[in-house]
Amino acid sequence: MIIDNPLGGKYIVGDKIFYDKISAIIHANHTLADIEWDYGNHIFYSLDWTKEPDTSLDELYRQRALQLREKYDYIIVFCSGGADSINVLYSFLKNDIKVDEVYAGAPLSAIDETTVNKSDLTAANTGSETVLTQIPILKKVQSEYTDLKITINDYVDTILSYREDDWMLTASDWMHPSTRARYSLEKFTHIKKLVESGKKVACIYGSNKPNVVLLNHNFICNIDDIGINVARPAFDDLPCSLEAFYTTPDFPLIAVKQAHAVINYAVSTKNEYLLNIMRIKAAPAKVNYNNRPYENAIIPAIYPSLDYKYFQTDKPNYALLADMDAWLYDLLDGERQGQMFYADISNFRKSINLKYFNGVDRTYLRQFKISFFIANEYQLNTAIIYER
């Protein structure tokens, strides 16, 4: 049994409510019913997105960290080594707001120095980030905050223990083997005991960045479920809270401020590269669009105090059996466990109607989103950027 997780909002199918996307899709598939996603929509729609909050981003991050600290007894910051999670961590530490534990999921027993490729930036080389980025960052943080508790989970054994279908049905949008395993806390008894004792424990995720697009000369910010649903339940049968640090109805001003920061940065720097990416992102039915260039380009805008210059590969080009798990597919090539993964995904694709995928192929589940107008590009005098 998986405890309902409200972090990703709720999926409404007729008169039924689901807190898990896969469960909602499987139920809706019987009658080809429509699905509605509610991520505290009324809160986000109540804001004036055309008005930039006066408070700085760093101060908003501090306030969010403090809000979480006051809400929970025990705070675990999940740290992938990416800019998002590192900024979350420093939003606590640099403001003297206590973090009880830093958690990092890493396939250590399958990835080491001999498998690292510094020149390959494709998603299939994501495993190299473990050695080149994640571990060095954790060592740096530990040297700066020597009393900080850091836990590294080598989750390869968890993946190898998966049973047929079970692994897939808890993966949500990112339906590949490492999704659930990297965020599982099942093997960590000290955390389990805290939850069982009644302590309010929370796992903090660095999700989700502002998804700003440029459509018909309008800057629009989308909040989509595919980014929020990266987080997975920590336990199968214990109530451990999951919290999105950035885009959340509990602190909606961060999303608004970040959206304005991205636009201001693109306009003020006359960044044609970033603006063109925003146009591409707005194109309908864009198949296998890689979001890494956009995410890298906006780091200076949304994390003004973060000096981030670490190795990063591309984002996955598909979500079902994603290429970021290439190290695992190589490891299990010809093995029964690997064959099970392929069979489970194949059967799922065949059994679910295309309307619940991205509408073009079956590489992504259907994306749900809410959208907000920010500004017209000509009102911001960006037209000069495109003059030749």
- Predicted confidence at residue 194, as pLDDT, reads 97
d(CA 302, CA 260): 9
- Structure tokens given for 34: 């429509």
Q: Is residue 1 assigned to a domain?
A: no
- Predicted confidence at residue 386, as pLDDT, reads 42
- Predicted confidence at residue 5, as pLDDT, reads 65
What range does the domain containing 143 cover? 6-386
The residues, ordered by sequence, that sit 6+ positions from 348 with a Cβ below 8 Å of its Cβ are 168, 175, 320
From residue 349, give the alpha-carbon distance in Å to each of 19, 159, 305, 321, 376: 21, 21, 43, 11, 40
- Predicted confidence at residue 225, as pLDDT, reads 93
pLDDT digits (tens, 9 = 90+) for 153-185: 999 999 999 988 888 888 889 999 999 899 999
- Structure tokens given for 112: 């080491």
d(CA 269, CA 55): 22
* Total count of domains within the chain: 1
pLDDT digits (tens, 9 = 90+) for 269-290: 889 999 999 998 887 655 556 7
- Predicted confidence at residue 315, as pLDDT, reads 86
Ranges of residues in the chain with a pLDDT under 70 are: 1-6, 284-289, 381-388
- Predicted confidence at residue 380, as pLDDT, reads 81
Q: Is residue 240 assigned to a domain?
A: yes
Q: Cβ(258)–Cβ(50) under 8 Å? A: no
| Matching residue, tokens 């980030």 | 129
pTM of this structure:
0.93
